[in-house]
Structure 1
């Protein structure tokens, strides 16, 4: 009983995406990634040494899956994308926006993480770019309630924690 929903309801949230690629021998691989959805493009973090980036460069056919799941609230929304991805040079401004999405305002971000892991100005940084050929959504939030509540209202972004 597929129930479609506006993909922006999931794409606007700081969720984990799973990037599916294929090895040269045809074996599937899956990698969790942070992402940004801007102007109908899905951007995912990578770098020159990333096996995901190497697989995308060799075979650009990818799938991306994102699940918004809250067991207590009875929310279960799935979004899938398919298409041809490319590996692009790092865009520091986009990267900073992506980091704010997951880590909050720059002044509250962990400096050690930014300097040692994120490395915004790293020349080896890359972004995987996907303009999807197809997008599939399915809201199965009725798993607790039945079909009468298949589409639950939900804020597009989580409320700020003011504690």
Structure 2
């Protein structure tokens, strides 16, 4: 997909699909709904994340000299993992804020509301990624031209 449509367009489509699929997942965060409402959102969101994931690594190495790709990859990986840790901590804190003590229906409803909010905040983050990607010039994320290799028979 990235080769055919470019890094920027691939990121845009991945973020857009994620921003659509993730709120579908949030629909399942209700004590009166069963688990069967979750797969559509999980599938759309998962495919979107897979699209975005691939293009993200390509974008991380865009414009970087070949000998520096390892450093670019390490920086992208470190940033991703730190962001995941901080983001998860923030979302857990938000989703658990104000939980009542006990195990009754009030606690179940509060947990469902917190999860619903966390999932919608995740979708908001995807929309933010979409807006940031829209602000980037396509040329800044261009794929490098294929390297020509010398064929021993023609040398």
TM-score range, shorter chain: under 0.3
Higher relative contact order (CA 8 A, sep 6+): 2
TM-score by length of 2: 0.24
TM-score by length of 1: 0.23
Q: Which has the higher helix share?
A: 2
Give the number of the structure whose alpha-carbon radius of gyration is greater.
2
Q: Which has the higher strand share?
A: 1
